[in-house]
Amino acid sequence: MKEQLENIKVHAVQDLENACSMQELENIRIKYMGKKGELTSVLRGMGALSAEERPIIGQLANEIRSFIEEKIESSKQVILSKEKQEKLQKEVIDITMPGKKHELGKKHPLSIVLDEIKDIFIGMGFEIAEGPEVELDYYNFEALNIPKNHPARDTQDTFYINDNIVLRTQTSPVQIRSMENSKPPIRIISPGRVYRSDAVDATHSPVFHQVEGLVIDKNVTMGDLKGTLEVFAKRLYGDDTKVRFRPHHFPFTEPSAEMDVSCFVCGGSGCRVCKGEGWIEILGSGMVHPKVLKNCGIDPEEYSGFAFGMGLERIVMKRFGIDDLRLFFENDMRFLKQF
Ligand code: DAH
């Protein structure tokens, strides 16, 4: 039996020398010291030994068990540190590799022109106001004197969230919110996204941008409207620019007018940009309707005001000679880099 034990020791040492993973170590432990292990079965057989032999063999068996346990433990340390070393080597980062370059962006043409428009109005004492894009039907239509069944609703194909909530079809609801939230004098412009259920083509998109304007004070007249918008046109297109107002109709203004500017390409003689007209339409405007003032708790006998609204995309397209509105929303750097 002594010989058997010595053999076990020799074999265990050999096995351990060849082991190179934690799994192999565990297999060795089971092979010798598991429930059915070689050493375990020797210990089980000790009952058959004589009284003199038993303590001697018992002591030897215990020594060998501790010996194997220690060997396993030290092999474990060796394997762990080897594995760690391999992992570190595999995960080495080559800090001399060139980095991935991010392409630098450019200011979007819509932002370029919008910033100019903002600067012009801020220079005239206006503030920038904002309103929600998901808007109550009341603010988008009702309070602006566009009741349900009004034909103006048909021309602005609306995305309805439910009966009372829409995606705003215009920036005009910000007028109402401004008048509700502050007392006159009010001088604001409100740029932002608007939505209409239009099919996409070269001149239509379900999302586009408008800039709204509103002035409310005592004794504001149509003369103030014309003077303010003429200054705006000259600042945006140059001092030679002429403006003309054509009568129009909007439910929230009375009287209402559309404003054209003399073509900034041909100066009025007619060209491709103005389609031979000499004039380019850039905005709608008018004196705020007394009903709209009343809806906002402002007394039309005491106060008056004017409002205007323009579509940003159209203005930017004319400005840069862009013939397809879809280019604004495609984020193609080859397009954006040109401005
Ligand atoms: N909201 C109008 C539209 O989307 C534009 C507009 C016209 C706004 C006249 C105004 C205005 O404030 O006075 O067609």
Atom index in ligand 1 nearest the CA of residue 252 equals 13
Q: How far is the CA of 66 from the centre of ligand 1 (A)?
A: 93
pLDDT grade for 71, boundaries at 50, 70 and 90: confident
As a whole number, mean pLDDT of residues 48-75 equals: 86
Q: What is the pLDDT of residues 221-267, one digit of tens each?
A: 999 999 999 999 999 999 999 999 999 999 999 999 999 999 988 99
Q: How far is the CA of 309 from the centre of ligand 1 (A)?
A: 4
Name which of 2-6, 210-214, 299-303, 317-321 the model is least confident about: 2-6
Q: What is the pLDDT of residue 224?
A: 98
Residue 100 inside a domain? The answer is no
Q: How far is the CA of 210 from the centre of ligand 1 (A)?
A: 9
154 and 266 in one domain? Answer: yes
Q: Which residues line ligand 1 (CB under 6 A)?
A: 170, 172, 212, 250, 253, 284-286, 307-309
pLDDT grade for 306, boundaries at 50, 70 and 90: very high
Residue 101 inside a domain? The answer is no
257 and 159 in one domain? Answer: yes
CATH number at residue 115: 3.30.930.10
Name the residue of 155, 250, 313 whose CB sits within 8 Å of the most ligand 1 atoms, as the mutation to test its pocket: 250
312 and 214 in one domain? Answer: yes
Whose alpha carbon is nearest atom 8 of ligand 1?
Answer: 309
Q: Which of 57, 90, 123 is the last residue of a domain?
A: 90
As a whole number, mean pLDDT of residues 12-23 equals: 85
272 and 231 in one domain? Answer: yes
184 and 322 in one domain? Answer: yes
Q: How far is the CA of 218 from the centre of ligand 1 (A)?
A: 22
As a whole number, mean pLDDT of residues 150-162 equals: 83
As a whole number, mean pLDDT of residues 210-217 equals: 98
Most confident of the ranges 38-52, 106-120, 156-170? 106-120
Count of alpha carbons within 13 Å of 235, Cβ hemisphere only? 17
Name the residue of 126, 145, 170 whose CB sits within 8 Å of the most ligand 1 atoms, as the mutation to test its pocket: 170
Residue 98 inside a domain? The answer is no
Q: How far is the CA of 239 from the centre of ligand 1 (A)?
A: 25
Whose alpha carbon is nearest atom 5 of ligand 1?
Answer: 309
Tell me phi and psi for residue 157, to 5 degrees.
-60, 110
Residue 71 inside a domain? The answer is yes
Model confidence at 154: pLDDT above 90? no
pLDDT grade for 135, boundaries at 50, 70 and 90: very high
Q: What is the pLDDT of residue 229?
A: 98
pLDDT grade for 327, boundaries at 50, 70 and 90: very high
Name the residue of 150, 167, 172 whose CB sits within 8 Å of the most ligand 1 atoms, as the mutation to test its pocket: 172
Q: Give the residue carrying structure tokens 């004098």.
A: 185
As a whole number, mean pLDDT of residues 331-337 equals: 92
Q: What is the pLDDT of residue 63?
A: 86
As a whole number, mean pLDDT of residues 99-117 equals: 93
How much of the chain exceeds pLDDT 70, in percent? 100
Q: How far is the CA of 262 from the centre of ligand 1 (A)?
A: 21
Closest Cα to residue 311, out of 234, 237, 271, 259?
259
Residue 228 inside a domain? The answer is yes
41 and 135 in one domain? Answer: no
121 and 48 in one domain? Answer: no
Atom index in ligand 1 nearest the CA of residue 306 equals 13
Closest Cα to residue 138, out of 148, 151, 128, 129?
148
Residue 103 inside a domain? The answer is no
Residue 64 inside a domain? The answer is yes
As a whole number, mean pLDDT of residues 152-156 equals: 73
pTM score of the predicted model: 0.72
Domain boundaries, position 34: 2-90
123 and 72 in one domain? Answer: no
76 and 142 in one domain? Answer: no
Model confidence at 155: pLDDT above 70? no
Q: What is the pLDDT of residue 44?
A: 82
Distance (Å, whole) CA 303 – CA 327 = 43
113 and 84 in one domain? Answer: no
The answer to whether 174 touches 212, Cβ cutoff 8 Å, is: yes
Distance (Å, whole) CA 136 – CA 168 = 8
116 and 172 in one domain? Answer: yes
Helical axes 22-33 vs 2-18, angle rounded to 10°? 170
Count of structural domains, the chain: 2
Residue 96 inside a domain? The answer is no
Atom index in ligand 1 nearest the CA of residue 310 equals 5
Q: How far is the CA of 303 from the centre of ligand 1 (A)?
A: 20
Name which of 26-40, 176-190, 284-298, 323-337 the model is least confident about: 26-40
186 and 153 in one domain? Answer: yes
Q: Which of 90, 124, 145 is the last residue of a domain?
A: 90
Model confidence at 104: pLDDT above 90? no
- Whether residue 185 is preceded by a cis peptide bond, meaning omega within 30 degrees of 0, is yes
Q: What is the pLDDT of residue 294?
A: 97
Q: How far is the CA of 247 from the centre of ligand 1 (A)?
A: 13
Q: What is the pLDDT of residues 281-304, one digit of tens each?
A: 999 999 999 999 999 999 999 999
Atom index in ligand 1 nearest the CA of residue 253 equals 13
